[in-house]
Structure 1
Amino acid sequence: MEAIYDHVGIAVRSIDEALPFYLEVLGGVVEDRYTSEAPGVEVHVAVVRTADNLIELLEPTNKNSPIDRFIKQKGKGVHHMAYRVDDLDKAILDAENKGVRFLEDTLRTNARGRRLIYINPISTDGTLIELCTYPDNLKKNFT
């Protein structure tokens, strides 16, 4: 499996309060904002592009959100690192053949068409890592 760095997800209590740092200090630009109320997701997302990085600011929409639980347990900050793969199904199979465990209930297509799954932090020495792939019409924006 060849994986290329894609983005970092950062848990925040308020996107509107966090954005000035990423826009004014880091010189970022908001590329997208959306909300996902899918069960097990429940998050507002702001996608910010800096010169050479993509950042997802993640704000919980309710108390059932995994981001809300994350903030309560660990505080605000880096939630996950994401790596892009060409073929998500093949990458999952290859990783499983090497003993990697996944959080299977996280396999989904997000509101913008990105397919993703999270690797169980047991397999990564504690870091939550997302593997993702984009549909052809979105690849040009993220490569």
Structure 2
Amino acid sequence: MEKNVLGTHVIAQIGILVRDIEKTCEAYAEFFGVENPGWSFTAPVEMARTEYRGERSEARAKLAFFKMGSLQLELIEPDEHPSTWREYLDEHGEGPHHIAFRIEGMKDKVMTLELNQMPLLQKGEYTGGRYAYIDTLESLKVIIELLENDKK
């Protein structure tokens, strides 16, 4: 594999799976002495175009974002539909799910990673961009998320 296939080594985000986002948001806000950011739902499949393991999925999640200096901490409470979030929470319980990197050239990056036995788990869109979760558990021991924002 070529070196630095992502084009960056700066971690933008750490994602943590939780069963109760309201309770966990309060705990983080209190622990760090910061404002509780509240949470929001991911967009429905018609807008997000969510795919999990190559199939369309109705998967949605409640998300909360804490700004932690140069890093964003994302809390994720998945719904019951098939997703990398639901699968990982069911199999491993609450805790770290992924580390994320902001990239450019999503299609090329995903293709390169897949050619190197790092398959796409889930992808979708959000207002202003797209995301992809890559199965890098075997080699890197964590799921990698790629975040690509639209150019302004």
Which residue does the alignment assign to 2:146?
Answer: 131
After TM superposition, what 4+ stretches of structure 1 lie above 6 angstroms from structure 2? none
**Whole-Å separation in 1 of the counterparts to 2:64 and 2:136:** 24
Once the two structures are overlaid, the 10-residue window that deviates more, 73-82 or 41-50, is 41-50
Q: Which TM-score applies when normalising by structure 2? A: 0.71
Q: Where do residues 77-92 of structure 1 align in structure 2 (5 Å cutoff)?
A: 77-92=95-110
Query: What SS does structure 2 have at the residue aligned with 1:136?
Result: coil
**Whole-Å separation in 2 of the counterparts to 1:28 and 1:70:** 28
Residue of 120, 133, 136 corresponding to 1:103 = 120
Letter in 2 for 1:69: E
Give unmatched runs, 5+ long, in structure 2.
46-56
Residue of 91, 97, 106 corresponding to 1:73 = 91
Which residue does the alignment assign to 1:5?
Answer: 11
**Whole-Å separation in 1 of the counterparts to 2:151 and 2:25:** 29
Query: What whole-Å deviation, never above 9, does each CA across 1:70-113 have from its counterpart, x for those lacking one?
Result: 2221110001111111222232344345x142226x23213x33
Structure 1 residue 13: Cα displacement: 0.6
Once the two structures are overlaid, the 10-residue window that deviates more, 56-65 or 42-51, is 56-65
| Alpha-carbon RMSD | 2.6
Are residues 27 and 136 of structure 1, via their aligned partners in 2, closer, same or farther at CA, if it must alter by over 3 Å? farther
Are residues 29 and 35 of structure 1, via their aligned partners in 2, closer, same or farther at CA, if it must alter by over 3 Å? same
CA contact (8 A) 1:12 1:57 kept: yes
Letter in 2 for 1:133: E
Q: Which TM-score applies when normalising by structure 1? A: 0.75
Once the two structures are overlaid, the 10-residue window that deviates more, 11-20 or 49-58, is 49-58
Identity rate, percent:
22
Give unmatched runs, 5+ long, in structure 1.
138-143
CA contact (8 A) 2:18 2:94 kept: yes
CA contact (8 A) 1:8 1:80 kept: yes
